[in-house]
Chain A
Amino acid sequence: EVQLVESGGGSAQPGESLRLSCAGSGVSVSDYNMNWVRQAPGKGLEWVSVMHSGGRTYFADSVKGRFTINRHNSKNTLYLQMNSLRTEDTAVYYCARALYDSAGMDIWGQGTTVAVSS
């Protein structure tokens, strides 16, 4: 079965760090463009970051300079390192696959919840 499984969510205080993981099963995270998308409580979807199969990375302005994205090919896992967390980073974080640049996201994980509060 093809699936993506996120983990690493939890509670943090403003200024702290968290690292999210997205483990692929039946799908290679290094062969595709892998994205992080988040959804604040009761709000819409917000794209966060992408790592292209070739290694290029892009970020939303709201997280640029605070979040980094990388992957561990042998573990078939994508990561999102979130530093200098803010209350507005509170959301469910999803990882999702896109087959190529500009493609729709055809496989999604179930999400992991991040709550930032003092």
Chain B
Amino acid sequence: SYVLTQPPSVSVAPGQTATITCAGNDIGGKSVHWYQQKPGQAPALVVYDDSDRPSGIPERFSGSNSGNTATLTISRVEAGDEADYFCQVWDTNSGHPHYVFGTGTQVTVL
């Protein structure tokens, strides 16, 4: 089955840039979505279709996708960005369509 691998943790100082990667075989050929999940809350969509932002999501959140790696970039990090982040794709190559989530990355704001 399709596997998406993320770094377990990323630490960043306030005002700096956090970069979260999502590695998968030829992920550049798929649409990647990113979710933010704060403790005790449901996930929230922050980037969809590789690089689009839902209404209300700050421009500080951006995404890219090419080759075997998709990336979520959080610019000018704020304390409120501290959360778990998950990438996601819809995989149709295995014969039965299904969503796949990445392993998740915990972002810590120093």
Contacts and interface: CB of A to CB of B under 8 A. Distances in A.
Contacts of B100: 47
Interface in B77-110: 84, 86, 88-90, 92, 96-104
Chain A interface SS verdict (over half): strand
Interface in A28-51: 35, 37, 44-47, 50
Chain B interface SS verdict (over half): strand
A1 interface: no
Contacts of A108: 42-44
Contacts of A59: 98
Contact of B103 (A44, A50, A60, A94): A44
17 contacts: A37-B43, A44-B84, A44-B104, A45-B35, A45-B37, A45-B43, A45-B88, A45-B104, A60-B98, A61-B1, A102-B92, A104-B45, A104-B47, A104-B48, A104-B88, A105-B45, A106-B48
Interface of B: 1, 30-31, 33, 35, 37, 42-45, 47-49, 54, 84, 86, 88-90, 92, 96-104
